[in-house]
């Protein structure tokens, strides 16, 4: 059990309902400083909804979120000044250049201009955008925009960083770069909260992993803990986190279906979901 | 062409049912439709009374009556033509090139022509719906006042549709060629904007020239120049073709309609057919290249910007700076501002013309009050039309990138003040320039500083109302580009525009109340007559700003933290 007082991110009974659908259901979690927390779950599990509530973009139906001890709902502006956020889709102002956007974010956060310019130079060099920094963002590709968004979040050197599926749309080299950057941030005492549905990322990067399904946190711990805890049977067989993930989120039954669909010569195979007619 | 009808039916269905819309959006759409109907009815009723009055007064002089009628009907057509160019360019561009489903449709195994055809037709329907209430009721009123039969209405409807088809066909042709052959997004948009401005200028200048004709003293010459002469002078305008075509079928107007019909049918068929058949070759490439940015030559940064010289920081200044940067880089904005400036220029020109003709006798204070009110309101109206598409909807224009502001520590008051300042800039700039300009003319009007106060206060009132409406009814699907995808954004901008017009009507009432009740004040209340309404106007502006910084800012705070 973590001491509440040390937690940088804390969710208490966080709940979001859309009509009858509970997108997030009584979520409790806490993240310590210097930790990379991986939020793992299938599509539609409630990852984005949770992150939006934690960063103060979405009001919870009930429950509370705290960032560095600040109640997000009560003082969103204070909470937002200590956190950085990267959304799942990198929408940017198409009529600004990359450098202008970063400068804009720096001014919004009232960072000292001289330091901002230095920091922009560093970040642009880091993400290999130095050559393109004076072009309009409208001409940037998805991955380049994603990198600009990450740079925006890193600009103010926030205590807490939230990233919603950060590596989606990035080429392997950039994805690797992002992972290294996040690790360095955590090592320097920063806190990183990232969501993903890619198991490999959770396995390789995260100090702790929470698995969410249908809005409920169904397991939490280090990858080792999760392995030892929840997968009995299959003695001796080396199993990956994928097995674990599928088992926990009830994905196992699809295995057979997929196998069934991909087996050739099966006359009823074309009737399943995703089948072609 | 089955696939074309399929796509079109889908478009119309989603338009009519308003699928996927929230209650708030539906209420907005319904009230807009209602407004449209009211507008049409009001215009129809008003002109019906006017035509009836003409009949009563000039019953004995049928030639003169006909001339005045021709003049009115053609003026209404010219107005429709201006509207059609003004809105048609944007609307067709949006529907044909920016509808979100075009990308999906072009990937399907249907000819590009079918996709274009469907979008072409739905933009035509939208254009007809937008422009019809401004002109068609006038013709209906004319028919009713003259007691004409059903055939007249059918002919008028046909000719009216043909007129719109001519505009729409030519616009589409220009668009499809510009999109295909001009490189880079900016150049495309500039070309599109300037061809629209060119079209509007053509209409306005020919109107001005034909107004010159009627300045001779001979009554028969006046009749001639008012009526048939005007049609002859503007023979090259489609609006005139339509007037000729319909009136040619009536007795007593001495107009031949054959040429009108031929021109309308010929050009509408030719332009529609041409754009339709060229679309097979040009549409896909033009659509694919619509967002292409040409890499600018590397800009050298000012040293001060790089090293971070003195910059005003915080949400207010940075949002304002960001918005103004976007303003400067958006050709649409220049287009809107240019059209507004042209309109204002024509207004000033006409006023000076009228004043030049008037008697040299000193006008009475009431007249001066009315005139000064008009001088205050006109530039604010033009600025309001500009801000209705820029600052007045700039919260909506944050669009998908709004998360950047929402994720940063931004206070709602700072943000709303930045948007208010942005919205206020165009009317304020137009007002200041116009008031100073008036100082150099001999137009009779009130005191200079009253005009200034009036301009500032009405600009503030209009901007506050626009921003407040944008906060309460935001539409983040409004795109930063040439308007929005589909027809949704149009409604948003219209709401902003109408609300500023309504606000100006209210201001006009405020400014003219003392004139209406001047007997009560007695003859000697000159100061009350001139200054009191301006104080009232200032109070109105302050009240609206209070509302903006109070309830509207609280609503914005909700949007910032929960959406
Ligand atoms: N604005 C919304 N209105 C209604 N339902 C929503 C909304 N946003 C998300 N949901 C629903 O909430 C659930 C969780 O969504 P989300 O948090 O985006 O999942 P993910 O884990 O893929 O990020 C989904 O079932 C989604 O359909
Ligand atoms: Mg998500």
Q: What is the pLDDT of residues B237-248, one digit of tens each?
A: 999 999 999 998
> For residue A92, what are the contacts with CB-CB under 8 A and spacing of at least 6?
A101, A137, A140, A145, A148, A149, B401, B404
Residue B303, pLDDT > 60, answer no
Look over chain B and give the mean of its residue pLDDT values, rounded to a whole number: 83
Atom of ligand 1 minimally distant from the CA of A19: 4
pLDDT bin (cut points 50, 70, 90) of residue B89 is confident
Q: Which bound ligand lies closest to the C-alpha atom of A168?
A: 2
- The minimal CB distance from A117 to the residues B306, B404, B411 is found for B306
The protein residue whose alpha carbon is closest to atom 18 in ligand 1 is A48
What interface predicted TM-score (ipTM) does this complex get? Answer: 0.86
Q: Give residue B520's pLDDT.
A: 62
pLDDT bin (cut points 50, 70, 90) of residue B479 is low
- Distance from the Cα of B426 to chain A's closest Cα (Å) equals 20
CA distances from B249 to A262, B67, B263 (A): 73, 16, 15
- Distance from the Cα of A231 to chain B's closest Cα (Å) equals 39
| Inter-chain touch A108–B318, beta carbons under 8 Å | yes
Q: Give residue A256's pLDDT.
A: 63
- Tell me which chain B residues have a C-beta less than 8 angstroms from the C-beta of A87: 403, 407
Q: What angle do CA B158, B164, B168 make, to 5 degrees?
A: 140
Identify whether the C-beta of residue B323 lies closer than 8 Å to the C-beta of residue B418.
yes
Give the DSSP per-residue string, B489-521.
HHHHHHHHHHHHHHHHHHHHHHHHHHHHTHHHH
Identify whether the C-beta of residue A223 lies closer than 8 Å to the C-beta of residue A206.
yes
Residue B129, pLDDT > 70, answer yes
Residue B155, pLDDT > 90, answer yes
- Tell me which chain A residues have a C-beta less than 8 angstroms from the C-beta of B309: 113
Q: Is residue A229 part of a domain?
A: no
Q: How far apart are CA A13 and CA A234, in angstroms?
A: 35
Identify whether the C-beta of residue B238 lies closer than 8 Å to the C-beta of residue B166.
yes
Q: How far is the CA of A48 from the centre of ligand 2 (A)?
A: 4
Q: How far is the CA of B393 from the centre of ligand 1 (A)?
A: 28
Atom of ligand 1 minimally distant from the CA of A46: 17
In terms of domains, do A179 and A250 share one? no
| Inter-chain touch A100–B318, beta carbons under 8 Å | no
Identify whether the C-beta of residue B208 lies closer than 8 Å to the C-beta of residue B215.
no
Residue with tokens 């991955």: A143
Q: Is residue A15 part of a domain?
A: yes
Mean pLDDT of the region B214-227: 66
Q: Which of A206, A244, A242 is nearest to A228 (CA)?
A: A244
| Inter-chain touch B308–A113, beta carbons under 8 Å | yes
Q: How far apart are CA B436 and CA B348, in angstroms?
A: 13
Q: Which of A259-263, B18-22, B197-201, B537-541 has the lowest mean pLDDT?
A: B18-22
* Tokens representing residue A86 in the block: 């990267």
User: How many helices (H) and strands (E) would you count in chain B?
Assistant: 23, 0
In terms of domains, do A114 and A215 share one? yes
pLDDT bin (cut points 50, 70, 90) of residue A203 is confident
Atom of ligand 1 minimally distant from the CA of A164: 23
Q: Give residue B285's pLDDT.
A: 87
- Tell me which chain A residues have a C-beta less than 8 angstroms from the C-beta of B290: none
Please give the torsion angle defined by the CA atoms of residues A92, A95, A100 and A104, in that order, rounded to the nearest 10 degrees. Answer: -60
Report which DSSP code applies to A234.
S
Domain range for A267 is 238-277
In terms of domains, do A243 and A165 share one? no
In terms of domains, do A84 and A148 share one? yes
Identify whether the C-beta of residue B464 lies closer than 8 Å to the C-beta of residue B545.
yes
In terms of domains, do A250 and A203 share one? no
Residue with tokens 């044909």: B96
In terms of domains, do A48 and A125 share one? yes
Q: Is residue A88 part of a domain?
A: yes
Q: Which residues of A lie closer than 8 Å to B, measured between beta carbons?
A: 55-59, 73, 76-78, 80-81, 84-85, 87, 89, 91-96, 99-101, 104-105, 107-110, 112-117, 134-136, 138-139, 152
The protein residue whose alpha carbon is closest to atom 26 in ligand 1 is A44
In terms of domains, do A264 and A128 share one? no
Mean pLDDT of the region B76-100: 85
| Domains of chain A: total | 2
Q: Using CA coordinates, name the residue in chain B closest to A115.
A: B308
Q: Give the residue, B370 or A133, on which the prediction is more confident.
A: A133
* Tokens representing residue B75 in the block: 């003026």
> Which residue ranges have their beta carbon within 6 Å of ligand 1?
A 18, 21, 23, 41, 43-49
Give the DSSP per-residue string, B197-261.
HHHHHHHHHHHHHHHHHTTSS-HHHHHHHHTHHHHHHTTTSHHHHHHHHHHTTSTTS----HHHH
Atom of ligand 1 minimally distant from the CA of A50: 17
Q: Give residue A270's pLDDT.
A: 40
| Inter-chain touch A59–B330, beta carbons under 8 Å | no
Q: Which bound ligand lies closest to the C-alpha atom of A41?
A: 1
| Inter-chain touch A77–B293, beta carbons under 8 Å | no
In terms of domains, do A121 and A95 share one? yes
Identify whether the C-beta of residue B111 lies closer than 8 Å to the C-beta of residue B7.
no
For chain A, the straight-line distance linking the first and the last C-alpha, in angstroms and rounded, comes to 53
Query: Which of A97-101, B230-234, B368-372 is most confident?
Result: A97-101
Look over chain A and give the mean of its residue pLDDT values, rounded to a whole number: 84
Q: Is residue A198 part of a domain?
A: yes
Q: Which of A81-95, A223-237, B91-105, B220-234 has the lowest mean pLDDT?
A: A223-237
Pairing of strands A62-67, A70-71: antiparallel
pLDDT, one tens digit per residue, over B183-200 is: 887 788 888 888 888 888
> For residue B545, what are the contacts with CB-CB under 8 A and spacing of at least 6?
B420, B460, B464
Classified as helix, coil or strand, B399 is: helix
> For residue B456, what are the contacts with CB-CB under 8 A and spacing of at least 6?
B428, B431, B541
Residue B325, pLDDT > 60, answer yes
- Tell me which chain A residues have a C-beta less than 8 angstroms from the C-beta of B299: 134
- Distance from the Cα of A124 to chain B's closest Cα (Å) equals 13
Q: Give residue B518's pLDDT.
A: 67
Q: Which of A39-48, B232-241, B508-517 has the lowest mean pLDDT?
A: B508-517
> For residue A202, what are the contacts with CB-CB under 8 A and spacing of at least 6?
A38, A40, A196, A209, A223, A241
Q: Is residue A232 part of a domain?
A: no
Q: How far apart are CA B336 and CA B154, in angstroms?
A: 36
- The minimal CB distance from B329 to the residues A84, A92, A95 is found for A95
Identify whether the C-beta of residue B192 lies closer than 8 Å to the C-beta of residue B482.
yes
The protein residue whose alpha carbon is closest to atom 12 in ligand 1 is A23
Q: Which of A224-238, B123-137, B313-327, B543-557 has the lowest mean pLDDT?
A: A224-238
Q: What is the 3-state secondary structure (H, E, C) of B254-268?
A: CCCCHHHHHHHHHHH
Q: Give the residue, B197 or A149, on which the prediction is more confident.
A: A149
Q: Is residue A227 part of a domain?
A: no
For chain B, the straight-line distance linking the first and the last C-alpha, in angstroms and rounded, comes to 42
Q: In terms of C-beta density within 10 A (0-12 exposed, 13-18 middle, 19 or more buried), how is residue A273 classed?
A: exposed
Residues in chain B: 563
Q: How far is the CA of B207 from the centre of ligand 2 (A)?
A: 58
Identify whether the C-beta of residue A37 lies closer than 8 Å to the C-beta of residue A31.
yes
| Inter-chain touch B407–A110, beta carbons under 8 Å | no
Q: Which of A219, A244, A249 is nearest to A233 (CA)?
A: A244
Q: Which of A206, A149, A208, A198 is nearest to A182 (CA)?
A: A206
Q: Is residue A211 part of a domain?
A: yes
* Tokens representing residue A241 in the block: 């986190």
Q: Using CA coordinates, name the residue in chain A closest to B186.
A: A95
Residue with tokens 């215009």: B43
Q: Give residue A81's pLDDT.
A: 93
Q: Is residue A70 part of a domain?
A: yes
Q: Which of B11-25, B293-307, B352-366, B435-449 has the lowest mean pLDDT?
A: B293-307
- Count CB neighbours of A69 within 10 A: 13
Q: Which bound ligand lies closest to the C-alpha atom of A212?
A: 1
Q: How far apart are CA B127 and CA B140, in angstroms?
A: 19
Q: How far is the CA of A50 from the centre of ligand 1 (A)?
A: 10
Best to test chain B binding among A73, A93, A115 (most B CBs inside 10 Å): A93
- What is the domain-level CATH number for residue A27? 3.40.50.300
Residue with tokens 């220009």: B174
Q: Which residues of B324-352 are buried (b: 16+ CB within 10 A; e: fewer)?
A: ebbbebbbbbbbbbbbbbebbeebbeebe
> For residue B99, what are the contacts with CB-CB under 8 A and spacing of at least 6?
B119, B485, B486
Phi-psi region of B58 (alpha: psi -120 to 50; beta: other; left: phi over 0): alpha
The protein residue whose alpha carbon is closest to atom 1 in ligand 1 is A18
| Inter-chain touch B406–A57, beta carbons under 8 Å | yes
The protein residue whose alpha carbon is closest to atom 17 in ligand 1 is A46
| Inter-chain touch A91–B314, beta carbons under 8 Å | no
The protein residue whose alpha carbon is closest to atom 10 in ligand 1 is A23
Q: Give residue B362's pLDDT.
A: 60
pLDDT bin (cut points 50, 70, 90) of residue B482 is very low
Classified as helix, coil or strand, B422 is: helix
Identify whether the C-beta of residue B172 lies closer than 8 Å to the C-beta of residue B275.
yes
Residues in a beta bridge with A242: none
Q: How far apart are CA B310 and CA A114, in angstroms?
A: 9
A160-164 β-sheet, strand order: A83-86, A160-164, A191-196, A36-40, A208-213, A216-221
Q: How far is the CA of A191 from the centre of ligand 2 (A)?
A: 20
Q: How far apart are CA A14 and CA A61, in angstroms?
A: 8
- Ligand 1: residue of A38, A39, A44, A53 to mutate (most ligand atoms within 8 A of CB) is A44
Q: Give the residue, B251 or A14, on which the prediction is more confident.
A: A14
Q: Which residues of B145-181 are buried (b: 16+ CB within 10 A; e: fewer)?
A: bbeeeeebeebbebbbbbbbbbbbbbbbbbbbbbbbe
Q: Which of B179, B480, B193, B126 is nearest to B336 (CA)?
A: B193
CA distances from B213 to B206, B223, B321 (A): 11, 11, 49
Alpha helices in chain A (DSSP H): 47-54, 76-82, 98-108, 113-126, 142-155, 172-187, 199-205, 223-230, 241-248, 252-262
In terms of domains, do A178 and A275 share one? no
Q: How far is the CA of B453 from the centre of ligand 1 (A)?
A: 51
Mean pLDDT of the region B256-283: 92
- Distance from the Cα of B150 to chain A's closest Cα (Å) equals 53
User: How many helices (H) and strands (E) would you count in chain A?
Assistant: 10, 10
Residue with tokens 């031929």: B262
Residue A264, pLDDT > 90, answer no
Contacts of B502-506 with C-beta under 8 Å, sequence gap 24+, read B503/B384, B503/B458, B503/B461, B503/B462, B503/B465, B504/B377, B504/B380, B504/B381, B504/B384, B504/B458, B504/B462, B506/B540
Residue that finishes a domain, picked among A221, A249, A264: A221
Identify whether the C-beta of residue B160 lies closer than 8 Å to the C-beta of residue B135.
yes
Q: Give residue B350's pLDDT.
A: 75
% of chain B residues with pLDDT over 70: 85
Residue B485, pLDDT > 50, answer no
Q: Which of A40, A45, A55, A42 is nearest to A21 (CA)?
A: A45
pLDDT bin (cut points 50, 70, 90) of residue B304 is very low
In terms of domains, do A118 and A208 share one? yes
Q: Give the residue, B208 or B559, on which the prediction is more confident.
A: B559
Q: How far is the CA of A169 from the centre of ligand 2 (A)?
A: 14
Q: Give residue B483's pLDDT.
A: 39
Mean pLDDT of the region B269-280: 93
- Count CB neighbours of A112 within 10 A: 12
pLDDT bin (cut points 50, 70, 90) of residue A250 is low
- Tell me which chain B residues have a C-beta less than 8 angstroms from the C-beta of A133: none
Q: Using CA coordinates, name the residue in chain B closest to A92.
A: B401
In terms of domains, do A215 and A246 share one? no
In terms of domains, do A162 and A252 share one? no
Residues in a beta bridge with A97: A136
% of chain B residues with pLDDT over 90: 32
Q: How far is the CA of A152 from the centre of ligand 1 (A)?
A: 25
Identify whether the C-beta of residue B445 lies closer than 8 Å to the C-beta of residue B371.
yes
Identify whether the C-beta of residue B31 lies closer than 8 Å to the C-beta of residue B188.
no
Q: Give residue B23's pLDDT.
A: 72
């Amino acid at each position: 059990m973590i001491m509440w007082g040390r937690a940088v991110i804390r969710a208490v009974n966080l709940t979001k309902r859309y009509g009858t659908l509970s997108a997030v259901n009584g979520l409790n979690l806490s993240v310590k400083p210097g930790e990379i927390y991986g939020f793992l779950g299938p599509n539609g599990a409630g990852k984005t909804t949770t992150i939006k509530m934690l960063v103060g973009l979405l009001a919870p139906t009930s429950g509370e979120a705290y960032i560095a001890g600040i109640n997000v709902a009560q003082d969103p502006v204070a909470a937002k000044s200590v956190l950085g956020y990267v959304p799942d889709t990198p929408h940017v102002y198409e009529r600004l250049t990359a450098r202008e956007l970063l400068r804009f974010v720096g001014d919004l956060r009232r960072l000292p201009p001289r330091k901002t310019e230095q920091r922009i130079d560093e970040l642009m060099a880091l993400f290999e955008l130095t050559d393109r920094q004076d072009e309009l963002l409208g001409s940037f590709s998805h991955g380049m925009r994603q990198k600009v968004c990450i740079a925006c979040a890193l600009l103010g050197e926030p205590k807490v960083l939230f990233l919603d599926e950060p590596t989606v749309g990035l080429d392997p080299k950039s994805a690797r770069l992002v992972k290294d950057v996040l690790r360095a941030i955590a090592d320097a005492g920063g806190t990183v909260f990232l969501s993903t549905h890619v198991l490999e990322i959770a396995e390789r990067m995260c100090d702790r992993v929470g698995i969410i399904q249908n809005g409920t946190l169904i397991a939490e711990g280090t990858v080792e803990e999760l392995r030892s805890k929840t997968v009995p049977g299959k003695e001796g067989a080396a199993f990956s986190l994928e097995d674990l993930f599928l088992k926990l989120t009830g994905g196992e039954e699809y295995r057979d279906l997929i196998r069934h669909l991909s087996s050739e010569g099966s006359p009823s195979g074309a009737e399943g979901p995703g089948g072609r007619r | 062409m089955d696939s074309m009808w399929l796509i079109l039916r889908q478009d119309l269905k989603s338009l009519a049912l308003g699928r996927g819309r929230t209650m708030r959006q539906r209420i907005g759409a319904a009230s807009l439709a209602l407004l449209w109907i009211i507008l049409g009815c009001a215009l129809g009723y008003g002109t019906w009374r006017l035509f009836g009055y003409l009949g009563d007064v000039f019953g004995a002089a049928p030639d003169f009556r006909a001339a005045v009628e021709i003049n009115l009907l053609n003026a209404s057509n010219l107005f429709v033509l201006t509207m059609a160019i003004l809105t048609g360019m944007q609307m067709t561009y949006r529907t044909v090139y920016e509808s979100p489903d075009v990308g999906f449709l072009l990937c399907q195994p249907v000819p590009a022509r079918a996709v274009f055809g469907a979008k072409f037709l739905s933009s035509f329907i939208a254009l007809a719906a937008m422009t019809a209430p401004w002109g068609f009721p006038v013709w209906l009123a004319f028919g009713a006042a003259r007691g004409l039969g059903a055939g007249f209405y059918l002919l008028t409807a046909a000719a009216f549709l043909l007129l719109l088809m001519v505009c729409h066909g030519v616009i589409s042709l220009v668009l499809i060629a510009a999109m295909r052959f001009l490189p880079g997004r900016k150049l495309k948009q500039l070309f599109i904007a300037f061809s629209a401005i060119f079209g509007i200028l053509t209409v306005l200048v020919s109107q001005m020239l034909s107004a010159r004709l009627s300045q001779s003293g001979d009554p028969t010459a006046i009749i001639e120049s008012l009526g048939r002469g005007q049609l002859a002078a503007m023979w090259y305008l489609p609006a005139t073709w339509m007037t000729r075509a319909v009136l040619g079928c009536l007795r007593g107007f001495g107009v031949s309609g054959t040429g009108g019909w031929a021109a309308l049918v010929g050009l509408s068929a030719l332009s529609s057919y041409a754009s339709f058949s060229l679309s097979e070759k040009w549409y896909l490439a033009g659509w694919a290249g619509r967002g292409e940015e040409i890499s600018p030559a590397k800009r050298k940064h000012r040293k001060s910007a790089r090293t971070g010289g003195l910059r005003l920081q915080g949400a207010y200044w940075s949002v304002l700076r960001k918005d103004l940067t976007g303003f400067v880089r958006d050709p649409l904005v220049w287009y809107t501002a240019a059209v507004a400036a042209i309109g204002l220029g024509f207004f000033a020109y006409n006023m000076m013309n009228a004043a030049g003709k008037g008697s040299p006798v000193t006008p009475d204070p009431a007249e001066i009050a009315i005139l000064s009110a008009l001088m205050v309101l006109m530039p604010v109206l033009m600025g309001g039309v500009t801000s209705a598409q820029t600052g007045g909807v700039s919260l909506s224009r944050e669009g998908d990138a709004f998360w950047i502001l929402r994720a940063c520590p931004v206070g709602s008051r700072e943000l709303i003040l930045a948007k208010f300042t942005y919205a206020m800039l165009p009317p304020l700039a137009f007002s200041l320039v116009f008031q100073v300009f008036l100082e150099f003319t001999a137009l009779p009007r009130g005191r200079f500083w009253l005009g200034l106060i009036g301009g500032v206060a009405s600009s503030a009132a209009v901007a506050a109302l626009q921003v407040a409406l944008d906060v309460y009814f935001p539409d983040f699907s409004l795109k930063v580009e040439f308007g929005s995808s589909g027809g949704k954004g149009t409604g948003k901008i219209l709401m902003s525009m109408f609300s500023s017009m309504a606000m100006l009507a209210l201001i006009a009432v405020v400014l003219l109340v003392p004139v209406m009740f001047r007997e009560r004040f007695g003859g000697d209340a000159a100061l009350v007559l001139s200054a009191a309404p301006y104080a009232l106007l200032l109070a109105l502006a302050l009240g609206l700003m209070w509302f903006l910084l109070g309830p509207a800012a609280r609503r914005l705070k909700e949007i910032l933290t929960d959406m």
